[in-house]
Amino acid sequence: MNYGKEPGKRHVLKTAAFTLALTAALAVPSPSAAADEEVGCGAVLTSDVTLTRDLNCAGDGLTIGADGVTVDLAGHSIAGDGTGRGVAVGDRKGVAVHDGVISGFRLGAEVVGGAAVFSRVRFAGNALSADQAASLTLVGPRSACLAEGIDVTGSSVLTIDRCTVHGRLQGTNGHGWTVKGSVLSNGYLELAESGSNVFSGNLFDGFPVNLTERSNDNLYTDNVFTNAQVGFRAEHSAGAPNRVENNVFKANRYGMTFWVSFSNVSVSGNKFEGNRVAGILIDPIRFTGVTPYPVSGNTFVHNGLAPLGAVDRDGDPIKDGVHVSGTEQAPVELARNDGTDNGGFVIWGRAGEVTDGGGNHGPCGPRNDPGLNCS
């Protein structure tokens, strides 16, 4: 019997089995690699993911399917074909998406009833939407945070912190917004039936603000409004006043206008500089109530130097720091305003249309107005 060859055979068999096992083990992807492969267009995510490649999608990009999901784009992009949503967030809370680009969808992100934070994400060529008491947050820095159109409805909350915004920023029934440290350009902001929102430290460059009826208790402070036909326009509101405080309005056609009505707006501590027709024009069609809030403590410099024949509703030329007309039913209180080198007057307001709150420095007009004392 040739027993001497049996151990050799067993050794060969063991070596072959080990080689096959090792080959099979190497062929099976790791759990993380498998997870990465599953992240493709149309994926419904129920746990944290990190992209390892760009995605080019027809229809929806990614859908969030659970609370607390974090999506790390890792510098990659999700691109659409003009349809669908880049990231769809239904009634999911604690969602975070960061570090990448979402472009080319019908909506870059849609949040309906949920709460999502997008940090260092650039939405290029697609708008964002929040509805049904959603919470939408965009966080910069500005070089890495871009939104091109935002629609917020249904009592949803919007937070923008150090971002760049183009296109429209529109809110209906929006309360508790915070927009700060951001650059908003080549678009507009319109709020309707909205209140208790704060806009601070922003640059509105070619980005006029329109505060429509039934909006109250909004604060605009320490912003710059520039390069617009009208930097800021407001209509009548009830309740707590809207406050426009400590801003700079420069190089607009009009810094502020009140064409429809002037009520429940406090304008104080602002600087109006180089606005071509007027710093402030108050020339309303109607009044819906008495305005107890003053225009006070503002400075007007170099306004009204290029009016191009602008006139108020009564045909009087407009080329002033603040020009008031058509307010006989509820005179506007003016206090502690001053300025120099305007095309006409620092303050222009006829008797019976302004109330002198004291401390104004002229020149003021029209001449011999007993209701306005400017030293």
Give the DSSP letter string of 264-331: SEEEES-EEES-SSEEEEE--S--SS-----EES-EEES-SS--TT-B-TTS-B--SSEEE-S-TTSP
| Angle, alpha carbons 326-332-335 (nearest 5°) | 140
Q: What is the pLDDT of residue 38?
A: 63
pLDDT of residue 160: 98
**Whole-number Å distance between alpha carbons of 364 and 375:** 9
**DSSP structure class, residue 241:** P
Q: 23: which 2 tokens?
A: 């080959």
pLDDT of residue 18: 39
> Which percentage of the chain shows pLDDT scores above 90?
70
Segments of the chain with pLDDT less than 50: 1-36
Tens-digit pLDDT profile for residues 194-209 = 989 999 999 999 999 9
User: What is the pLDDT, as a whole number, of residue 276?
Assistant: 98
The pLDDT of residue 246: 98
pLDDT given at position 237: 66
CA distance 309 to 108: 44
DSSP per position, 3-41: GGGHHHHHHHHHHHHHHHHHHHHHHSPPHHHHHHHH--T
